[in-house]
Amino acid sequence: MTNEKKAKAAGRVIAKAWADEDFKVRLLADPAAVLAAEGVDVPAGIRLSVVENTEASYTLVLPARPTDLSDEELDGASGGWCWYCELSL
């Protein structure tokens, strides 16, 4: 699945969780099964967690460091706008 398709699938799941409380409860409890039922492939051996941000709790995900970039390339990629940077943490 391409990154664009992954982003679209994630957007559909998020929108459904916002609109359907029962779906959200199931997604939080068993994300792999719910995503599979939604047609999202979760590779075997992947541990998947879903957490909900609230006004009082925010989760920052630290992605794994890319192995194919030099330190100089990583420095160049670290700039730019990000949506979570706009939050008052």
Q: What residue spans define the domains of the chain? A: 3-57
pLDDT exceeds 50 at position 88: no
Per-residue confidence band for 84, with pLDDT thresholds at 50, 70 and 90 = very low
Model confidence pTM above 0.75: no
pLDDT digits (tens, 9 = 90+) for 31-59: 999 999 998 888 889 889 999 999 999 99
| DSSP conformation letters of 20-76 | -HHHHHHHHH-HHHHHHHTT----TT---------SS------PPPPSSS-HHHHHH
